[in-house]
Amino acid sequence: MIEEIGNNLFRIEIPLPKSPLKFLNSYVIKGKDRNLIIDTGLNMKQCLDAMHNGLEELKVDLKKTDLFITHLHADHFGLVAKLATENTKVYFNRPDSEIVESWDGWDAMIAYGGQNGFPKDELQSALSSHPGHKFGSEWTPELSILQEGDKIEVGDYHFTCVETPGHSMGHMCLYESSKKLFVAGDHILIDITPNIQCWSDDQNPLADYLESLDKVNKLEIELVLPGHRRLIKDYKSRIQELKDHHHKRLDEIVSILGNEAMSAYEVASKMSWDINCDSWEEFPMAQKWFATGEAISHVRFLEENKTLTRNSGSEVVTFSNAK
């Protein structure tokens, strides 16, 4: 499906089979000399076919087209290698590019999951079901690194880069101040909450995310173009809803722990999730993994705020409410 959003600005709906996200919004801006595609889809035939069909209908020549990728997740980055030509500039952010370029496998993330209570006999299954493992880009073309305040001009659109870490370490959005447009990637979504995961003790992604929401809240925006689902008009109300959601999550975790000590995996198993399953045991393995990553991010936030205490004397790290 193709939707015309503005003058020479289009949305191509890229299907994400078997994903609760349903589809990716890939935005295409047509210019006189160069075009721009924002985000691509998973590295799978259904996504590539939808992209090619959409570009053909819009009469967009890939040889005259650049790419802007909001962040490293496979549903946004996965088709880069299939779309890039020798003339393509692939705009990307520094923190995520360092992860991509230094990538040496999933072992560290898998080990961290185990340290946080994810059952060892399920770790390999979690990896094999992870969309980033199954549908990532085969290779990475040369990346043109952008940072806060850098400009991208295409056609009548003059975008400014806005760094919004949280959903990924380097997540980057685009702001068109004269048209009050904000290309949000997975920073702001309309009826689902962006997944904020943590897979390192060196990070506090939830703190980063909440700060990024406050940062965007100060901009003048009339229309948000998110990475998934519907476009957003009342962005300030949605930002407040997202902040409220995470603070409720934090309160829920404090309540779950009570006087006990639990691993992040155990905490995740007791949290409330918007998923059509009657019990934690029925969760698809990939969703258990994402839920655990989200629980870790909230536990880390509470640990950094001195609300929780870490108990690291055994193989599996547990957390308890501070006395």
Position 116 confidence tier, pLDDT thresholds 50, 70, 90: very high
In a domain, 54, yes or no: yes
Task: Return all residues near 162 (Cβ < 8 A) that are at least 6 apart.
Answer: 148, 172, 173, 174, 175, 182, 215, 216, 219
Query: Within 10 A of 105 (CB to CB), how many other CB atoms are there?
Result: 9
Answer whether residue 8 shows pLDDT above 90: yes
**10 occurs within a structural domain:** yes
Query: What are the beta bridge partners of residue 321?
Result: 308
Cβ atoms 183, 26 nearer than 8 A: no
Q: pLDDT tens across 12-68, in order? A: 999 999 888 999 999 999 999 999 999 999 999 999 999 999 999 999 999 999 999
Give residue 101's pLDDT: 84
Is residue 280 a part of any domain in this protein? Answer: no
Residues 68-94 have pLDDT tens digits of: 999 999 999 999 999 999 999 999 999
- Give alpha helix (H) positions in 116-234: 120-128, 131-134, 205-217
Q: Residue 185's beta-bridge partner residues? A: 226
Q: In what order do the strands lie in the sheet with 181-185?
A: 151-154, 157-163, 172-176, 181-185, 223-226
Instruction: Find the mean pLDDT for residues 239-245.
Output: 98
Quote the tokens at residue 293: 């990553």
Give me the residues paired with residue 229 across strands.
none
Judged by DSSP in three states, 174 sits in strand
CA distance 166 to 208: 5
Split into its structural domains, the chain has a count of 1
What pairing do the DSSP bridges indicate for beta strands 2-6 and 308-311? unpaired
The answer to whether residue 319 is domain-embedded is: no
Residue 22 belongs to some domain of the structure: yes
Q: What is the DSSP string of 22-67?
A: -EEEEEEE--SS-EEEE----SSHHHHHHHHHHHHHTT--GGGEEE
Q: What is the CA radius of gyration of the chain?
A: 20
CATH number of the domain within which 74 lies: 3.60.15.10
Query: For residue 209, is it within any domain?
Result: yes
> Which secondary structure element, helix H or strand E, spans residue 224, and what is its range?
strand 223-226
pLDDT mean over 147-166: 98
Q: What is the pLDDT of residues 60-69, one digit of tens each?
A: 999 999 999 9
Residue 54 is encoded by which pair of tokens? 């959409």
pTM, two decimals, is 0.95
What average pLDDT does the structure give for the chain?
95
151 domain residue, yes or no: yes
**How far apart are the C-alpha atoms of 256 and 264, rounded to whole Å?**
11
More confident position, 323 or 208: 208
Tell me the residue range of the domain where 206 lies.
2-249
Distance in angstroms (rounded) separating the CA atoms of residues 32 and 38: 17
Residue 133 pLDDT: 64
Q: Are 96 and 168 in contact (CB under 8 A)?
A: yes
Residue 111 resides in a domain: yes
For residue 144, pLDDT over 70 is answered with yes
Report d(CA 77, CA 89) in Å as an integer. 14
- Mean pLDDT score, 231-235: 98
